[in-house]
């Protein structure tokens, strides 16, 4: 059965599973589920994910899975993007936790405060300064890692790279300057050169 990914095209979290499916050339359905029009707050959607967030994976047999990085781990099983060697797998998970703890809450949040007019009232000078400082710190951690290693979690791309790519690539939309981060820019180019790579607004043809 072809899985369905409920997601918002403009969201980096929702892009992650779409990108994995594109890179592994597998079919799925995309159902546009936007946080901006209230779709994630309907009773029907809250019954599927009480957190009221997308992405949400629907396997079509009653099983539902929320949290973008958990979805990556499930859909990544058996693909080259999920290392089987225990230490390599743990390193991949380390960077996926980093993405959620240190990166997404600043780099992604500053972008949403910048690009969504409905969030303008939340974009206080203090919040913009804090997300800029924290996001720059997270991007600098990535730069230091990428100065030594080509990817996150091993010598080849893993789910950690797919988790970190969307909001790093769109960081300039949130006012982050990637010019002083050459290793991050080279890594972004390497991800975009992977066979099967698709941009954020890509949706698959109907299966």
Ligand X SMILES: N[C@@H](CCC(=O)N[C@@H](CS)C(=O)NCC(=O)O)C(=O)O
Binding site for ligand X (CB under 6 A): 8, 11, 13, 35, 40, 52-55, 67-69, 100
CA distance 75 to 87: 20
DSSP state of 195: T
| Shortest Å distance, C-beta 180 to ligand X | 27
| Shortest Å distance, C-beta 182 to ligand X | 28
Return the number of the residue (35 or 91) whose C-beta is nearest ligand X.
35
**C-alpha separations of 50 from 5, 42, 165, 207 in Å:** 16, 10, 27, 28
DSSP state of 205: P
Return the number of the residue (33 or 91) whose C-beta is nearest ligand X.
33
Return the number of the residue (11 or 136) whose C-beta is nearest ligand X.
11
| Shortest Å distance, C-beta 163 to ligand X | 8
Return the number of the residue (23 or 57) whose C-beta is nearest ligand X.
57
CA distance 198 to 175: 24
Strand, coil or helix: 14: helix
Strand, coil or helix: 5: strand
| Shortest Å distance, C-beta 179 to ligand X | 26
């Amino acid at each position: 059965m072809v899985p369905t990914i409920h997601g918002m095209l403009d969201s980096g979290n929702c892009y992650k599973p779409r990108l994995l499916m594109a890179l592994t050339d597998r079919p799925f359905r995309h159902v546009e589920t936007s946080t901006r029009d209230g779709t994630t707050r309907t009773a029907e959607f809250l019954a599927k994910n009480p957190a009221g967030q997308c992405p949400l994976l629907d396997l079509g047999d009653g099983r539902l899975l929320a949290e973008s990085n958990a979805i990556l781990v499930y859909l990544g099983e058996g693909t080259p993007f999920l290392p089987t060697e225990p230490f390599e797998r743990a390193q991949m998970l380390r960077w996926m936790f980093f993405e959620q703890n240190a990166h997404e809450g600043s780099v992604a949040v500053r972008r949403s405060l910048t690009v969504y007019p409905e969030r303008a009232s939340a974009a206080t000078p203090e919040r913009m300064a804090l997300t800029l400082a924290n996001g720059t710190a997270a991007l600098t951690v990535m730069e230091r890692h990428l100065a030594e290693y080509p990817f996150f979690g091993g010598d080849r791309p893993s789910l950690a790279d797919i988790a970190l790519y969307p909001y790093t690539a769109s960081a300039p939309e949130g006012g982050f300057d990637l010019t002083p981060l050459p290793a991050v820019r080279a890594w972004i180019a390497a991800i975009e050169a992977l066979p099967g790579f698709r941009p954020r607004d890509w949706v698959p043809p109907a299966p």
